[in-house]
Amino acid sequence: MNFLAHIYLSGEDPELKIGNFIADSVKGKKYLEYPEQISKGIILHRKIDSYTDTHPIVKQSAQRLYPKYGRYSPVIVDIFYDHFLAARWGEYSEIPLETYTLQFYELLQNNYDILPKKVQNFLPYMIGDNWLLSYASISGIGSVLSGMNRRTKNRSKMNLAVVELEAYYADFDQEFQAFFKELELFTKNEMKTL
């Protein structure tokens, strides 16, 4: 899953949200250097990723993209699924997405010093372009995919994947909904064991 899903799945705990958000920038056992709840958020992120990467519905979504995007297909699916979460946000949260994202950016700014350098570096761009809110539109997802493509030095061609998103929109949406129900249940159970 991508940023928005990880944040949402952390529930109401601010430090768990921070940990779940920064986890990709914290390698190996470095999570032990963070406060306990942030460490738990990092562990939760890793469990969510592991569950997602091996789930048959996610694999089905990725298979649709594989002929054109190869090993980048699961990454694209993560971004697509964040789009559907953002687009269907009212079904998951009573807080409007715009308010939710602004509150989260404020949380990050208030805890800036604890964020990994990599996160500190991209944070101004994330807030300035309001990445999390932009996920709700296809054009916003197009911008995210273009940015990812640049980071792969144009090898992934992810910027073109909006074509598949639009062509198979109902299929991806249905797969997201089925998968996300299971992921929410998995996450709630895992949070009890942290």
Tens of pLDDT along 85-100? 999 999 999 999 999 9
In the structure encoding, which two tokens stand for residue 181, read together?
């129900």
Residue of 52, 48, 43, 79 whose CA lies nearest to 156 = 79
Average pLDDT for 141-153: 90
Identify the pLDDT of residue 15. Answer: 97
Give, to the nearest 10 degrees, the angle between helix 138-151 and helix 73-87.
150
Band (pLDDT 50/70/90 cuts) for residue 148 is: confident
Q: Is residue 194 within 8 Å of residue 40, measured between CB atoms? A: yes
Q: What is the pTM of this model?
A: 0.95
Residue 107's closest CA among 8, 5, 14?
Answer: 14
Task: Enumerate the domain spans of the chain.
Answer: 3-193
Surface-to-core class of residue 121, CB atoms within 10 Å of its CB (0-12 exposed, 13-18 middle, 19+ buried)? exposed
Query: Does residue 8 register a pLDDT over 90?
Result: yes
Phi, psi of 9 (to 5 degrees): -70, -10
Q: What is the pLDDT of residues 46-59, one digit of tens each?
A: 999 999 999 999 99
Report the pLDDT value the prediction gives residue 94, as an integer from 0 to 100.
96
